[in-house]
Amino acid sequence: EVQLVESGGGLVQAGGSLRLSCVVSGFAFDEYAIAWFRQAPGKEREGVSCISNYDKSTYYIDSVKGRFTISSDSAKNTVYLQMNSLKPEDTAVYYCAVDLYEFCNEATIQASHDYWGQGTQVTVSS
């Protein structure tokens, strides 16, 4: 059974930092990409970033480039999202997700994913 468990969310002031973690089990961690999504109240879910454990490619949407960094630790089956210079518009529930996508690019985070975590709330106050 594929399981994803996110943690690390919280309340932070604008300009602050958080590091989200996603522990993946029951999945070929080293062979596929893992993505982070977020959904703000009243808005559609959007892909934020992904990393391929297959070829180490990464992708970020424009609004987080230079502020967020995605990384992966195969020994721990964990993907991290380091979020710096947080803005109120980053407030959302953040989810990690996987599917059988080897590579990470814009198409990956726009594609459907079958396996999701429960989400972790990130709130950035102004």
Inter-residue contact 33 to 108 (CB < 8 Å): yes
Query: In this predicted model, what pLDDT tens digit does every residue of 47-71 receive, in sequence order?
Result: 999 999 999 999 999 999 999 999 9
Inter-residue contact 99 to 115 (CB < 8 Å): yes
Q: In angstroms, rounded to a whole number, what is the distance separating the alpha carbons of residues 101 and 8?
A: 25
Inter-residue contact 6 to 95 (CB < 8 Å): yes
Query: In this predicted model, what pLDDT tens digit does every residue of 63-111 receive, in sequence order?
Result: 999 999 999 999 999 999 999 999 999 999 999 999 999 999 999 999 9
Inter-residue contact 9 to 120 (CB < 8 Å): yes
The whole-number pLDDT of residue 88 equals: 97
Instruction: Give residue for tokens 């999701």.
Output: 116
Query: In this predicted model, what pLDDT tens digit does every residue of 7-47 receive, in sequence order?
Result: 999 999 999 999 999 999 999 999 999 999 999 999 999 99
